[in-house]
């Protein structure tokens, strides 16, 4: 029996990992929507090379196909775009890329939106697709909503509108677990808001504790990496509601609190410089953050760049790197300068401890980018 033909519209880590999960069940092709190139992904290659960022750094020789040919033959198309416009334009960029994809969709295809939306966002997507294709959801086209969390390949929820061919999604191992697309949107948005509000509550309480110079027991010490994971979703939720609605207000307040936290990190670093009387020329600041430049959302990359640019107002030598990649390499700290290290993820914290063992007797101040901004 021939495998189902699947196309991933977006050269992203989430799409690549999903392709790895589907490799034994489908014939998968991934599309670089920026370069308009399509590449077949062999199951053996996917198993041997599980990380897209590592694969692309080696410039692999993969068979290239015309995009229109791949999308014309695909039975299932996953919308997994790489969004890189400035923060305030990401929702516009997502809509633009969906319109670009819609031009190629053929009758009978199942379009799977793997990019999260706010409540009602998929209704707008469906209108865009139907207008661009002349096809209709439920009669000549199937639309599914299966949002992927950052860096993950397992859909958070699975739902479909006008599902005509249940066999395709079921054969790929997906079972609808939400009543309809709108209920799936609410379920996903609810989880995002619950996590985000809990995080910013910790941020705000820790800020007040620092100002009052009192200790505060945190229920969890989450890092900047975890705060930043749902920024795109919060923007989508805020945009989906009328101004003044409670949900829009809550999402907007959460985004504002997070933006303030980025400023707190910079302010805390500046305090270190003042307290230790450090000269800019003798100081190096390292932002340790294991970033994935191929993930769908660009928010983590943009936050890292924002912190770096703000810190350069005080110190010229500021870099963004990963302790994971530098483990044991001896390249992390500058022995001729005082090193201020800002750790942005749990993964980087563990790797930094291992990397630092080989670099003793070097002047170092460590700031953990958690709500308490703990120093070591």
What is the crossing angle of helices 246-275 and 299-311, to 10°? 40
How many residues does this entry show for the chain? 376
3-state DSSP call for residue 33? coil
Of 111, 145, 178, which residue sits at a domain end? 178
Q: Are residues 298 and 347 in the same domain?
A: yes
Q: In this predicted model, what pLDDT tens digit does every residue of 60-77 receive, in sequence order?
A: 656 788 999 999 999 999
Here the tokens at position 11 are 């050269």
Q: Are residues 268 and 174 in the same domain?
A: no
Report whether 343 contacts 370 (CB < 8 A): no
Q: Tell whether the model's pLDDT for residue 351 goes beyond 60.
A: yes
Q: Tell whether the model's pLDDT for residue 99 goes beyond 80.
A: yes
Q: Tell whether the model's pLDDT for residue 147 goes beyond 60.
A: yes
3-state DSSP call for residue 238? helix
Does residue 376 belong to any structural domain of this protein?
no
Q: Are residues 222 and 312 in the same domain?
A: yes
Q: In this predicted model, what pLDDT tens digit does every residue of 259-311 receive, in sequence order?
A: 999 999 999 999 999 999 999 999 999 999 999 999 999 999 999 999 999 99
Structural domain range at position 212: 185-368
CATH of the domain at 160: 3.40.50.720
Q: Is 176 exposed, middle or buried (0-12, 13-18, 19+ CB in 10 A)?
A: middle
pTM, 2 dp: 0.93
Q: In this predicted model, what pLDDT tens digit does every residue of 15-61 receive, in sequence order?
A: 999 999 998 999 999 999 999 999 999 999 899 999 998 888 876 65
Here the tokens at position 138 are 């439920």
Q: How far apart are CA 236 and CA 118, in angstroms?
A: 5
Choose among 129, 186, 187: nearest CA to 162: 129
- Label the pairing between strands 76-79 and 4-9: parallel
Q: How far apart are CA 322 and CA 283, in angstroms?
A: 19
* Total domain count, the chain: 2
Q: Residue 31 has what DSSP assignment? A: E
Residue 360 sits at φ, ψ, to 5 deg, of -80, 165
Of 131, 160, 178, which residue sits at a domain end? 178
Does residue 249 belong to any structural domain of this protein?
yes
Q: Are residues 226 and 357 in the same domain?
A: yes
Q: Are residues 140 and 238 in the same domain?
A: no
Does residue 374 belong to any structural domain of this protein?
no
Report whether 330 contacts 337 (CB < 8 A): no
Q: How far apart are CA 349 and CA 342, in angstroms?
A: 9
3-state DSSP call for residue 174? coil
Of 158, 178, 198, which residue sits at a domain end? 178
Does residue 122 belong to any structural domain of this protein?
yes
Q: Tell whether the model's pLDDT for residue 166 goes beyond 70.
A: no
Q: List the Cα angle 89/118/234 in 5-degree steps.
A: 60
Per-residue pLDDT band at 336 (split at 50, 70, 90): very high
Q: Are residues 191 and 174 in the same domain?
A: no
């Amino acid at each position: 029996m021939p495998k189902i033909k699947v196309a991933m519209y977006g050269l992203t880590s989430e799409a690549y990992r999903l392709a790895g999960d589907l490799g034994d069940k489908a014939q998968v092709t991934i599309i670089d929507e920026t370069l308009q190139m399509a590449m077949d992904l062999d199951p053996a290659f996917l198993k041997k090379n599980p990380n897209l960022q590592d694969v692309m750094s080696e410039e692999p020789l993969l068979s290239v196909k015309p995009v229109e040919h791949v999308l014309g033959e695909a039975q299932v198309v996953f919308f997994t775009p790489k969004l890189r416009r400035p923060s305030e334009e990401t929702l516009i960029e997502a809509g633009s890329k969906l319109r670009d994809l819609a031009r190629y969709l053929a009758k009978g295809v199942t379009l799977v939106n793997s990019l999260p939306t706010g409540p009602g966002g998929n209704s707008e997507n469906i209108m865009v697709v139907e207008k661009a294709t002349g096809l209709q959801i439920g009669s000549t086209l199937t639309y599914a909503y299966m949002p992927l969390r950052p860096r993950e390949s397992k859909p958070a929820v699975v739902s479909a509108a006008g599902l005509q061919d249940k066999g395709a999604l079921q054969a790929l191992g997906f079972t609808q677990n939400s009543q309809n697309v709108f209920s799936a949107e609410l379920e996903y948005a609810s989880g995002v808001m619950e996590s985000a509000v809990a995080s910013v509550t910790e941020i705000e309480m820790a800020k007040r504790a620092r100002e009052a110079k009192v200790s505060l027991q945190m229920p969890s010490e989450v890092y900047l990496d975890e705060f930043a994971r749902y920024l795109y979703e919060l923007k989508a939720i805020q945009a989906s509601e009328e101004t003044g609605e409670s949900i829009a207000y809550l999402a907007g307040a959460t985004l504002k609190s997070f933006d303030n936290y980025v400023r707190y990190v910079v302010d805390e670093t500046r305090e270190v410089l003042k307290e230790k009387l450090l000269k800019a020329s003798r100081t190096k600041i390292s932002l340790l953050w294991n970033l994935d430049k191929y993930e769908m959302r660009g928010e983590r990359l943009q936050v890292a760049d924002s912190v770096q640019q703000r810190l350069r107002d005080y110190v010229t030598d500021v870099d963004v790197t990963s302790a994971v990649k530098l483990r044991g390499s001896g390249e992390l700290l500058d022995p001729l300068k005082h090193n201020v290290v800002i750790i942005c993820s749990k993964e980087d914290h563990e790797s930094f401890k291992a990397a630092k063992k080989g670099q003793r007797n070097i002047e170092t101040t460590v700031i953990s980018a958690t709500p308490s901004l703990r120093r070591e």
